[in-house]
Chain A
């Protein structure tokens, strides 16, 4: 594993919010992958903050794809490079949670099915943040967004608690494709993330990394707390670090004793409205998830 990152910046001068988790994920991955990298970004925060002519802030070749096409454009670049005999290039995509789990799921599935040698990184900030915080299928249960508001009138009913669906598990979805390599990661554990990006770059087939990347603006936390809150999500068991390779699951950190889910949730404005009952429900979801994770990793 790389112990020293490149000094060179490949994602520099963007207009991301202070404390933006997604930009940390992009910046670090590019330092691992280096100069010979072709980047695809669909519509989303990273393309909005870094790609407005004439202020273009990628130091490597990069393009914005149509929202639904991250996987397809990555495949096109990979296949084009292969056809033209370009050797040793990394083809990497950075798509948000909506761009991956909602509108981009079909193209991602197609790319994995073809087994193209690409790295797909989903930076998950758990809602459509670029458009001002709307629910995606990776918005966690209970989170308040502008399309899943929490309010008195319907609170207590099915739709009063913010988002009422349980976060889709993209790791499960991609591993069900028999992908060459998949991992979950977090900017709350940067060495682990860097190791996974490096590993992905050495795979012969498709790699998928799902990196938890908090959004202080959308989550309602201090901009200085991005990394800390990402760490806390892992500690309380609402996020997990795992890998899948050659059909084998590895749980990178089997948390023996979780920290308080309530404390994690109550630090964030998006969960402020939750009742104790809601929090108990979230704790139960966590326990169920970990039971299945541990079983898979056995």
Chain B
């Protein structure tokens, strides 16, 4: 059988990816712009295309708790959320990672109230970076489907046993239609092993799970949790290669670098904005400018070595992100800065697209120009230029 092609939205691509992974249990709760995922899954279960137990639950908090319950028996599960829903789950996110439950969840990146906004930015998931989940950010519908399958392989890997959150930019990706290639069930079977959970509950060998621990033991568990996410780095690379061998599509693991090797000026991105930045790089390269774009695919585990490796030649780096940690800087920027703390390179943080504000092509061009200008400025102004810059916000002169 040959892979088929289909014209679908990002949400639908996720649903197809989940279907191919054949989860035993799906917990559904609606929230824009995720809802289409659980709607499509309901249709698939109803039509008999997918054999899963489909649970409608009363909240996101319950959605995640319910799939944890199913998972400890050895069931493969799925749930999806967004924004306020993800934050409502926050407690359970820590619970799942601390309990080493290999869940897979899709999150539609959406702004966080107040002000209310159903539109996209990445403040929801980035504010939960420390919840112990592996976080991957995808760029298009094809990657959305492919990463659902990879996510199960990563989460369930015995060296990892850590939940994975697959993040799609709300609307820009969840609701945009693209043509995707759907792997065959034979390909999926070759790639994705059956879920075997060594720590599962067993009637003949009863287990007491999700326990308390004394201060004496607690830090040891936390160390193991940290090691597991560090282990995920090589597992992610390995699984991506395996996926590529089966489907011909690989994503490069923790980062995806485009024309970074000799680039003087690099923009670091997260998620769907990368496509536009890549187009701008093409254009500026054709004019002879040495520019590149480095897409961070995983925020946890964080690709610090990869970022150092791909930015060796860079003079100035802009970190473009749809997030702000109020009173400091964007979270991606903070992480990138820490990775590059011993490198001789200047960094500027561009905060853009909050609450769904469009990031225009011209703004990207302008960022590359600013990166170029920064290098040519004196040290003093370079220091000033390190302040967070809000793209598309009119700032009074005295505040600049």
Contacts and interface: CB of A to CB of B under 8 A. Distances in A.
Contacts of B70: 76-77, 79-80, 83
A76 B211 contact: no
A64 B210 CA distance: 5
A74 interface: yes
Contacts of A62: 206-209
B5 interface: no
A201 interface: no
A33 interface: no
Contacts of B203: 35-36, 61, 86, 89
Contact of B62 (A47, A56, A71, A84): A71
Interface residues of A, number: 45
A137 B69 CA distance: 27
Given A59-B206, A89-B203, A69 B61 contact: yes
Given A53-B211, A72-B65, A77 B72 contact: yes
B91 interface: yes
Secondary structure of the B contact surface, majority rule: mixed
Nearest to A52: B212
A79 B26 CA distance: 10
Contacts of A35: 203, 206
B388 interface: no
Interface stretch (B51-59, B175-183, B285-293): B51-59
Q: Contact residue range for chain B?
A: 35 or more
A247 interface: no
A62 B210 CA distance: 9
Nearest to A41: B210
A64 B95 CA distance: 10
B374 interface: no
Interface stretch (A102-110, A160-168, A206-214): A102-110
Nearest to A74: B69
A145 interface: no
Interface string B43-54: 000000000110
Interface in A30-70: 35-36, 38, 40, 47-48, 51-54, 56-66, 68-69
A129 to B, nearest CB: 17
B341 interface: no
6 contacts: A48-B212, A61-B209, A63-B209, A66-B65, A72-B62, A86-B203
Interface of B: 24-25, 27, 52-53, 55-59, 61-63, 65-75, 77, 91-92, 95, 201-203, 206-214, 217
Given A62-B207, A73-B65, A80-B53, 9 more contacts: A51-B211, A66-B65, A73-B69, A76-B66, A76-B70, A82-B53, A106-B59, A106-B62, A107-B62
Interface of A: 35-36, 38, 40, 47-48, 51-54, 56-66, 68-69, 71-84, 86, 89, 106-107, 109-110, 113-114
